[in-house]
Structure 1
Amino acid sequence: MKKITLFVFCMLSLVACDKDDANQSELREVKVAVPETMPLAEFRALVNVEEPAAIEESGKIYTYQNLIFINDNLKGVHVIDNSNPENPVKKAFIRIPQNTDVAVKDDLLYANSGIDLVVFDISDINNIQLQNTIENPLCIMI
């Protein structure tokens, strides 16, 4: 049994070696990940209610009353009025950098923004307002 295992290992080793590869000695620089940095105050200032936009990479979908909230992965939340399901209307895009999750309670939309929690008043869907930013809530809890 040991001879068979050794034979198979040797054969696989020979197959894995490709001596004809002319690019073996060529080294190339490849960017794998490039960190993006900015001051925290500048990052927090990016949170904003904007005109409706196209969904690029949808994430979590949340419904509340006649509204649909669609997370656009790491970018923000699309707000859609679904009062008439046959004709849903895009109402706004809430830019929330590093956003991955939303929840709604009592006309308040809660969303993560990196290390922060942002709270929006959605009682008037035509006039969504940032109500509060809870900075680094995990530090508050500890």
Structure 2
Amino acid sequence: MKIKPLAILLFCCCLSLQSCWPTGTDDTDDFIDLQFSDYFQPVIMQRSEFETTTTLLTNAEVIINSGKIYVKDNYIFINERNKGFHIINNTDPTNPQNIAFLNVLGSSDLTIKDDAIYVNNATDLLALTIDINSGTIEITKRVTNAFPQIRSPFGSEFYNLQENEIIVDWILNDTSNEPS
């Protein structure tokens, strides 16, 4: 009598795997072979241009794609992913003021020690000093290639770069032409 439960178990297993068996029909129209590059495109810059992009903008920017938040004294630094940092004056916590934007391409994180700000700039590590009142910034040190290239949102690496090219961001391709 032990054979009957075993036969029922085998029958249920075969029935559950039925959808995995080939049926002989052409199901290739149901699937579209898309690569990560069909969705995201890297934003690539030459190193010579890339190294001139770190600036302090005294006009505040609207926060669109926020990342990490760092608080130092009366200031809040809010990351705009791969773009830079919003600088918020929090002297009056009931009325914080968005006062400036630290433009650092490929940035995602910063730390502050004394008066030095350390920030990732895509593949580089920067040490900066900022004078918000005068609207000036000084890069005191740049460590090139301290970090790997920025990966795509799918986590894939981009291997077709030339020697002096840097990925500063990934943008979404226009998918309006995709089949539905």
Over 3 Å counting, the alpha-carbon distance change for 1:14 and 1:78 in structure 2 is: same
Aligned to 1:47: 54
In 2, the alpha carbon distance for the partners of 1:109 and 1:89 equals 20
Cα offset for 1:18?
Answer: 10
Partner of 1:25, secondary structure, is helix
TM-score (norm 2): 0.63
Aligned to 1:75: 83
Give the gaps of 5 or more residues in structure 2.
Answer: 148-180
Instruction: Tell me which moved more, 45-54 or 30-39.
Output: 30-39
Give the gaps of 5 or more residues in structure 1.
Answer: none
Q: What RMSD, in angstroms, separates the aligned Cα atoms of the two structures?
A: 3.0
After superposition, residues 19-34 of structure 1 pair within 5 angstroms as 24-25=28-29, 28=32, 30=34, 31-34=38-41
Instruction: Tell me which moved more, 71-80 or 43-52.
Output: 43-52
In 2, the alpha carbon distance for the partners of 1:67 and 1:55 equals 16
Corresponding pairs, count: 137
In 1, the alpha carbon distance for the partners of 2:55 and 2:14 equals 62
Letter paired with 1:106: D
Instruction: Tell me which moved more, 60-69 or 110-119.
Output: 110-119
Aligned to 2:175: none
Cα offset for 1:27?
Answer: 6.3
CA contact (8 A) 1:120 1:128 kept: no
Find 2:16's aligned residue among 12, 20, 23: 12
Cα offset for 1:2?
Answer: 5.8
Cα offset for 1:112?
Answer: 0.6
Cα offset for 1:95?
Answer: 1.2
In 2, the alpha carbon distance for the partners of 1:90 and 1:37 equals 29
After superposition, residues 91-130 of structure 1 pair within 5 angstroms as 91-122=99-130, 124-126=131-133, 127-130=135-138
Q: Which has the higher contact order (CA 8 A, sep 6+)?
A: 2
Counting aligned pairs with the same residue, the percent is: 30
Cα offset for 1:43?
Answer: 1.9
Q: Deviations over 1:32-67 (max 9, x none)?
A: 443332211222222221221111222111111101
